[in-house]
Amino acid sequence: MNDELLLKIQNLRVSVEGKGILKGLDLTIRPGEMHVLMGPNGSGKSTLAQVVMGYPFYTINDGRLTMDEKDLRNLSPDKRAKLGIFLGFQHPVEVPGVSVFNVLRRAKQSILGQTRGSTPKARAPSVVSGVEPLNKLSKFREELLEYASSLKLSDDFISRSLNEGFSGGEKKRNEILQMMALKPKLVILDEIDSGLDVDGLKLVATSIIRFIKVNPRSSIILITHYARILKYLKPDFVHVMVDGKIVKSGKAKLAQEIEQKGYQSVVSNPDSQSYSKPGLEYVGE
């Protein structure tokens, strides 16, 4: 087993306005792994995604949260993004007047600026001033158009205002477009499959597979209620969350059991596809 860790969560306890949401959650993710997170409504799945991304309205009361051995707890969302964390929103926000291209250009620019040096003097002048050489700008636009085409989005899609007037399917595909363009180390997709028809689901899944092939060390946390997207994807681990904790973990068959029998039956059955110490130590098929 690879001992290199990307994300490590230990005994994470989180509250909002004094109400406990995450109640001692443990999860370990290594480079290149795909983890599927399932669970009934209100179990804390989206809260976990938002806490990892750094949403400020949550209070971390206890536990560890590290990425590449860096403590994330006091880092702002933009600093976490520069470390390589990406969250695909369940309900993307509309931003009138700001194009998809400009959002992604500035996001990419910010990430590149972080890697070119710790002080403005050490960075390329084009990054500091906010102006990129035309050849780089043109190349980035070509990349975006290629990604958009693979997602069956029109050529003018990247010129449209971010999520404004987008259909539900376009919003989902736009989240995947952002993932492909930014190439993060840790991708969190919160219900990326919700509301998609069969063709849309297959397209999104195929794009995730393509991303994994191009970025084999990137890891993915896929939050979903349904096993249907797993007809196309092969996760390394499936976890079940109940009441703020991961209570059961296993392979892809665990998701199939949940689809057939429901959460309560699977969680209470010791013979279902699982292993001990959820998210930490695999001991069985």
Q: DSSP of 49-117, one letter per residue?
A: HHHHHT-TT-EEEEEEEEETTEE-TT--HHHHHHHTEEEE-SSPPPEEEEEHHHHHHHHHHHHHHHHT-
Q: Are 70 and 5 members of one domain?
A: yes
> Which pLDDT does position 266 carry in this prediction?
87
> Which pLDDT does position 256 carry in this prediction?
92
Instruction: Specify the pTM.
Output: 0.87
Q: Is residue 215 part of a domain?
A: no
Q: Is residue 35 part of a domain?
A: yes
Q: Tokens for 222?
A: 């896929």
**Residues 20-33: what's their mean pLDDT?**
98
- Does 22 have pLDDT greater than 50? yes
Which SS3 state, helix, strand or coil, does residue 15 take? strand
Q: State the Cα–Cα distance between residues 198 and 133, nearest whole angstrom.
A: 41
Q: Is residue 114 part of a domain?
A: yes
Sheet with 59-67, side-by-side order of all strands: 19-29, 7-16, 59-67, 70-71
- Does 115 have pLDDT greater than 60? no
Q: Which of 183, 216, 250 delimits the end of a domain?
A: 183
Q: Is residue 157 part of a domain?
A: yes
Among 25-29, 78-82, 93-97, 133-137, the minimum mean pLDDT is found in 133-137
Confidence of residue 185 (pLDDT cuts 50, 70, 90): very high
Q: Torsion over CA of 151, 186, 252 and 198, rounded to 10 degrees?
A: -20
Q: Is residue 60 part of a domain?
A: yes
Q: Is residue 161 part of a domain?
A: yes
For residue 29, CA distances in Å to 91, 127, 222, 281 come to: 25, 32, 12, 11
Widest CA span in the chain: 60
> Which pLDDT does position 3 carry in this prediction?
77
Q: Are 42 and 100 members of one domain?
A: no
Among 91-100, 116-125, 150-159, the minimum mean pLDDT is found in 116-125
Q: Are 39 and 100 members of one domain?
A: no
Check which CATH number belongs to the domain holding 280 and give it: 3.40.50.300
Q: Is residue 217 part of a domain?
A: no
Q: How does the average pLDDT of the chain come out, rounded?
A: 88
Q: Which of 183, 203, 221 delimits the end of a domain?
A: 183
Q: State the Cα–Cα distance between residues 216 and 207, nearest whole angstrom.
A: 14
Q: What is the domain extent for residue 15?
A: 1-75+229-285
Q: Are 94 and 59 members of one domain?
A: no
* Top-confidence residue, 264 or 51: 51
> Which pLDDT does position 78 carry in this prediction?
93
> Which pLDDT does position 134 carry in this prediction?
53
Q: In the block, which residue shows the tokens 């993004």?
A: 81
Q: Are 66 and 95 members of one domain?
A: no
Element (H, E) at 161: strand 161-162
Percentage of the chain beyond pLDDT 70 is: 86
> Which pLDDT does position 1 carry in this prediction?
53
Count of domains for the chain: 2
Neighbour tally for 204: CB within 10 Å: 23
Q: State the Cα–Cα distance between residues 15 and 9, nearest whole angstrom.
A: 16
Confidence of residue 126 (pLDDT cuts 50, 70, 90): very low
**pLDDT single digits (tens) 136-184:** 778 999 999 999 999 999 999 999 999 999 999 999 999 999 999 999 9
Q: Are 68 and 102 members of one domain?
A: no
Q: Which of 183, 200, 220 delimits the end of a domain?
A: 183
Q: State the Cα–Cα distance between residues 34 and 222, nearest whole angstrom.
A: 7
Q: Are 176 and 264 members of one domain?
A: no
Neighbour tally for 11: CB within 10 Å: 12
Q: Is residue 193 part of a domain?
A: no
- Does 54 have pLDDT greater than 60? yes
Q: Are 37 and 102 members of one domain?
A: no
Q: Torsion over CA of 106, 111, 117 and 119, rounded to 10 degrees?
A: 50
Rounded to a whole number of angstroms, the CA Rg of the chain reads: 19
Q: DSSP of 197-231, one letter per residue?
A: -HHHHHHHHHHHHHHHHH-TT-EEEEE-S-SGGGG
Q: Which residues of 102-125 are buried (b: 16+ CB within 10 A; e: fewer)?
A: ebbbebbbebbbbeeeeeeeebee
- Phi first, then psi, for residue 26 (nearest 5°) are -125, 135
Q: In the block, which residue shows the tokens 């509301």?
A: 195
Q: Are 169 and 139 members of one domain?
A: yes
> Which pLDDT does position 245 carry in this prediction?
96
